Amino acid sequence: MVSKSSFSTPATRTDPHPIRDFFIADLIDYAPKDHPDMMERPFFAIAKRKRLRPIEYESADGSVWIKVTGHPEHGMATIWDADVLIYCISKIVAARDAGDNDFGPSIHVSPYELLKSIARETGGKNYQDLMAAIKRLKTTTIETNIRGGKNRIAMFNWLAEVEGEGREADEPEQLKTLELRVSNWLFKGLMSGKGVLTLDREWFLLKGGLERVLYRIARKHAGDQAQGWTCRFEVLHQKTGSEEGLRNFAVRLRRLVKRNDMPRYHMSLTKTKDGSEAVYFIARAHMAAVEPVPAVHSGSLGSQLAQARDEARTAWIDSGRNPRGFESTWARWLSDGREPSDFIRVHKETTSPAL
């Protein structure tokens, strides 16, 4: 049973590295990337306890199916382990977009740099946890027909190969470098031209497994649509891969919606035409734009406002401010009828002290 105090517990933890370190590449510090194919379907366990029961998912029309199987010793890769993949995706996409002729499915990184980039602490236990996550990503087996149609399947592990420079894997903190090679399935998806989606830095700070998977689903489906997106409880239950029954899942989901503190997206309860319970997701920037905003009143309001928000958030973070404070400040700025361009100018000119 969840205590009353849990309703006021923030969805995110404190960022241990809120300001970019000059010696850490700023590649993904505040612009992590994820692949759309991985965001709307249940590829990861959403609880930290070891999961051995496979995830089996089939779309409503039967055209897409997924089976995820964990290793008996290590268990199934979790939604927190996905941070490592997001780091790899971000590095690969950045190299591709920069025109680097030598890039491929492998990335090289020190355990320290990786921990800092995914907003983890860098104590001894954190290195052990990182290596455990890498082992789960290496040993979890995925079978699916995504991209292949009904007559073509793929079977793979998230990480195809892992190598490290150091004495032994049981002491990961002494490893100088790691080479992580993503699966061919994932790499081909990144090269297909389908594109990737930028995540909020706060993604790494989300504490709960259900919060994390709901954010990814909302980012994929609601995106920056001015009209938002509605999804029935039953469909969300399937998309998350939760081991809970639908009834218990619905109880937890209502609590999260009531708390409504997910990064970027506002959540509210609603019902579909057939009376089914559902959640309505909409980007908070669009919630704040109820009144006309002079700088973005023409053309496509949704796309212009989304671009203005991204530029404003970059200015906010580059000025040294804590990213967790951006959404509320941005919403107040717009609700006061002030120009988004002025927000960017003001926060580029004013630098906050380091936190």
Domain at 273, CATH number:
1.10.10
- Does 18 map to a domain? no
Q: In the predicted model, is pLDDT for residue 217 greater than 50?
A: yes
What length does the chain have? Answer: 355
Distance CA 299, CA 302 (A): 9
User: Mean per-residue pLDDT for 206-234?
Assistant: 92
Residues 91 and 190 reside in one and the same domain? yes
Q: In the predicted model, is pLDDT for residue 37 greater than 90?
A: no
pLDDT at 67: 96
Contact in structure between 119 and 113 (CB atoms under 8 Å): no
Residues 212 and 187 reside in one and the same domain? no
Question: What is the tens place of the pLDDT at every residue in 309-324?
Answer: 777 777 776 666 766 6
Q: In the predicted model, is pLDDT for residue 95 greater than 50?
A: yes
- Domain final position from 182, 201, 220: 201
Distance CA 324, CA 166 (A): 36
Distance CA 282, CA 265 (A): 5
User: Mean per-residue pLDDT for 281-292?
Assistant: 69
Higher pLDDT, 198 or 314: 198
User: In the chain, how many domains are there?
Assistant: 3
With tokens 């218990």, the residue in question is 248
pLDDT at 11: 67
Higher pLDDT, 82 or 38: 82
Q: In the predicted model, is pLDDT for residue 188 greater than 70?
A: yes
Q: In the predicted model, is pLDDT for residue 279 greater than 50?
A: yes
Candidate from 51-60, 230-239, 306-315 with smallest mean pLDDT: 306-315
Q: In the predicted model, is pLDDT for residue 332 greater than 90?
A: no
User: Mean per-residue pLDDT for 80-87?
Assistant: 95
pLDDT at 136: 97
Distance CA 111, CA 1 (A): 37
Question: What phi and psi, each to the nearest 5 degrees, are found at residue 85?
Answer: -65, -40
Q: Which domain holds residue 256?
A: 206-286
Distance CA 204, CA 12 (A): 8
- Does 156 map to a domain? yes
Residues 211 and 267 reside in one and the same domain? yes
pLDDT at 342: 81
- Does 129 map to a domain? yes
Give the angle 33-34-35 at the CA atoms, nearest 5°.
135
Residues 46 and 163 reside in one and the same domain? yes
Percent of the chain residues past pLDDT 70, beyond the cut:
77
Distance CA 81, CA 215 (A): 16
The tokens for 66 are 């997924």
Q: What is the pTM of this model?
A: 0.76
Residues 58 and 194 reside in one and the same domain? yes
- Does 90 map to a domain? yes
Nearest 10 degrees: Cα torsion 12, 19, 180, 68: 10
Residues 40 and 167 reside in one and the same domain? yes
Residues 294 and 282 reside in one and the same domain? no
The tokens for 220 are 């994929």
Within the chain, residue ranges assigned H as helices are 36-39, 82-97, 111-117, 124-139, 184-191, 209-221, 233-240, 246-259, 284-287, 301-318, 326-335, 340-349
User: Mean per-residue pLDDT for 157-184?
Assistant: 83
Strand arrangement of the beta sheet that strand 106-109 belongs to: 106-109, 177-182, 159-165
Residues 171 and 227 reside in one and the same domain? no
Residues 77 and 172 reside in one and the same domain? yes
The tokens for 162 are 């892992």
Residues 41 and 189 reside in one and the same domain? yes
- Does 54 map to a domain? yes
pLDDT at 161: 95
Q: In the predicted model, is pLDDT for residue 15 greater than 90?
A: no
Confidence of residue 286 (pLDDT cuts 50, 70, 90): confident
User: Mean per-residue pLDDT for 224-237?
Assistant: 93
- Domain final position from 286, 309, 330: 286
How far does CA 20 lie from the centroid of its chain? 19
